[in-house]
């Protein structure tokens, strides 16, 4: 029986599941925060944020923050909200 006609991104999206905390970490990193800044916002250690990032990289099969952000937005795991150069914290 033939496989349903789905894109690779949809298939991978179904397989990839980020935890709520991983989404929070990736969202903060995508906003330009450092690991330390994200840790401060989430009231955890930098080591904990780096642990979550390592898990995210593994799940998304990427090697860095930019690749993780691009993969997560492409898969619909986090929303794409361009800031067009706006500084952090500004509306």
Question: What CATH number is associated with residue 69?
Answer: 1.10.10.10
pTM higher than the cut 0.95: no
**Within-domain flag for 89:** no
**Within-domain flag for 88:** no
**Within-domain flag for 83:** no
Q: Structural domain tally of the chain?
A: 1
Confidence of residue 8 (pLDDT cuts 50, 70, 90): low
Map the chain to HEC letters.
CCCCCCCHHHHHHHHCCCCHHHHHHHHHHHCCCCHHHHHHHHCCCHHHHHHHHHHHHHHHCCCCHHHHHHHHHHCCCCCCCCCCCCCCCCC
Q: What is the pLDDT of residues 65-81, one digit of tens each?
A: 999 999 999 999 888 77
**Within-domain flag for 55:** yes
Q: What is the pLDDT of residues 16-66, one digit of tens each?
A: 899 999 999 999 999 999 999 999 999 999 999 999 999 999 999 999 999
Largest CA distance in the chain: 53
**Which residues span the domain enclosing 38?**
12-74
């Amino acid at each position: 029986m033939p496989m349903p006609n789905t894109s690779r991104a949809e298939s991978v999206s179904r397989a990839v599941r980020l935890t709520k905390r991983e989404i929070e970490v990736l969202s903060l990193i995508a906003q330009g925060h450092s690991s330390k800044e994200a840790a401060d916002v989430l009231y955890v250690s930098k080591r904990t944020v780096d642990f979550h990032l390592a898990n995210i990289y593994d799940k998304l099969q990427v090697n860095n923050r930019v690749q993780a952000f691009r993969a997560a937005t492409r898969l619909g795991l986090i929303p794409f909200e361009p800031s067009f150069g706006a500084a952090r914290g500004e509306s």
